[in-house]
């Protein structure tokens, strides 16, 4: 994206080009040399400098409310910035700094405004959700925050992303169980299951604790769908560790799963302390094998939904199909529901009940159902 706009700047299509964010926060000097078409790079928090360079007129314009870059029926709601965890492989704390929670009332005001603009679904995000509130309120406040968002009229779905397994706030189970507009969905990055790897990754959790947390999720929140992310090829991962990870995926049967191969990040503990000795072809083979196991699990879980009625939100139209999602599917990263277009038009951003008629490895196919709440 930066290179695309740099080309336009060089061709005279843009008067000025400014770049701000995580990349320029970390590699500001290098980027200035590599992409001279950019007039100025800014770190992630250099708002005052940016406003000064843009001039007073733009400063006044920034007093308007948030502008959505997503479809108007859903929005991402960031509740904090930064992370205090010290995972060996992760550069996020280096780039974003320590965890800083947003004041709860600021978040609630933003939700009320977005609801007034037509937003129905909120993806609550943070680099580390479960730490929310500790810096401001001296205790974990995620359960209370979600309850208060849930209370706001017009909030139809709340979905939680990027939780950490260590010290998980168990009162959140009650909130998810009792609140109908809190999706039975949790995105919790587990990364590995081998105690050897969890220690090398500095994850502050054990294999036993991880299994117990998954069991607790499914016991306390019936019907919950779990999404996780796993890593292969971190320095020190043996064949035994990888076998444990495969067995974990088979046993846990995650509803949604992503995985990636370790890549050394400059400045991280792993880059400084460990040798990245596992060959790339071994990493890729492990990744392919792990995702192959999950693909089979996903196909089996999808097939079990055939014949069931599910509530979906319609995101868009593609050819002969409306594309929707259930409460168990987050935008862009999760499966979708393809609904053949009926004679009566459906509303983008509307909720409908559908009957699942078919499934492939990930996506579902459905028709509009007669069932209503």
Annotated binding-site ranges: 83, 87, 90
Distances (CA, A) of 156 to 14, 125, 217: 40, 17, 22
Which two structure tokens, joined as six digits, stand for 76?
A: 């991402």
CA dihedral 212, 213, 215, 221 (to 10 degrees): 150
In terms of DSSP H, where are the helices of the chain? 2-10, 22-34, 47-54, 56-61, 92-96, 104-116, 134-137, 142-150, 171-178, 195-200, 207-220, 239-252, 269-273, 280-303
User: Beta strand pairing status for 18-20 and 364-368?
Assistant: unpaired
Residues annotated in a binding site for [4Fe-4S] cluster: 83, 87, 90
Please name which of 197, 273, 284 lies closest in space to residue 234, comparing C-alpha atoms: 197
Q: Tell me the C-alpha distance between 105 and 329, whole Å.
A: 28
Positive or negative, the Cα torsion across 66, 67, 68, 74?
positive
Burial (CB count within 10 angstroms: exposed 0-12, middle 13-18, buried 19+), residue 157: buried
> CB 356: neighbour CB atoms within 10 A?
23
Contact assessment for residue 164 and residue 188, using Cβ atoms and an 8 Å cutoff: yes
């Amino acid at each position: 994206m930066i290179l695309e706009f740099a080309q336009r700047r060089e061709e005279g299509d843009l008067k000025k080009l400014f770049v701000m964010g995580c990349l320029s926060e970390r590699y500001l000097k290098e980027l200035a040399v590599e992409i001279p078409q950019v007039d100025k790079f800014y770190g992630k928090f250099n708002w005052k400098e940016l406003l000064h360079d843009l001039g007073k007129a733009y400063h006044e314009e920034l007093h308007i409310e948030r502008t959505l870059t997503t479809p108007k029926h859903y929005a991402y709601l960031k509740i904090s910035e930064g992370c205090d965890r010290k995972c060996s492989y992760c550069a996020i704390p280096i780039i974003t700094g320590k965890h800083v929670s947003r004041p709860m009332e600021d978040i609630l005001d933003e939700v009320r405004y977005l609801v007034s603009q037509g937003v129905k679904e909120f993806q609550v995000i943070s680099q580390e959700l479960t730490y929310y509130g500790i810096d401001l309120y001296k205790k974990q406040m995620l359960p209370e925050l979600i309850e208060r968002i849930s209370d706001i009229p017009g909030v139809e779905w709340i979905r939680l992303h990027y939780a950490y397994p260590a010290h998980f706030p168990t009162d959140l189970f009650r909130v998810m169980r009792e609140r109908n507009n809190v999706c039975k969905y949790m995105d919790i990055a587990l990364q590995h299951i081998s105690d050897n790897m969890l220690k090398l990754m500095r994850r502050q959790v054990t294999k036993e604790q991880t299994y117990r947390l998954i069991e607790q999720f499914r016991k306390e929140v019936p019907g919950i769908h779990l999404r996780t992310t796993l890593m292969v090829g971190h320095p020190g991962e043996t064949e035994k560790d990888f076998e444990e990870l495969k067995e974990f995926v088979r046993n846990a049967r995650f509803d949604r799963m992503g995985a990636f191969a370790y890549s050394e990040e400059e400045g991280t503990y792993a880059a400084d302390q460990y040798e990245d000795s596992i060959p790339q072809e071994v990493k890729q083979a492990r990744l392919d094998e792990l995702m192959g196991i999950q693909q089979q699990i996903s196909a089996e879980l999808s097939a079990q939904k055939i014949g069931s009625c599910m509530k979906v939100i319609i995101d868009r139209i593609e050819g002969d199909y409306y594309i929707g999602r259930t409460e168990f599917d987050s935008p862009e990263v999760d499966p979708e529901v393809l609904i053949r277009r009926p004679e009566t038009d459906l509303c983008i951003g509307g909720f409908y009940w559908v009957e699942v008629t078919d499934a492939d490895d990930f996506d579902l196919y459905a028709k509009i159902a007669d069932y209503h709440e």
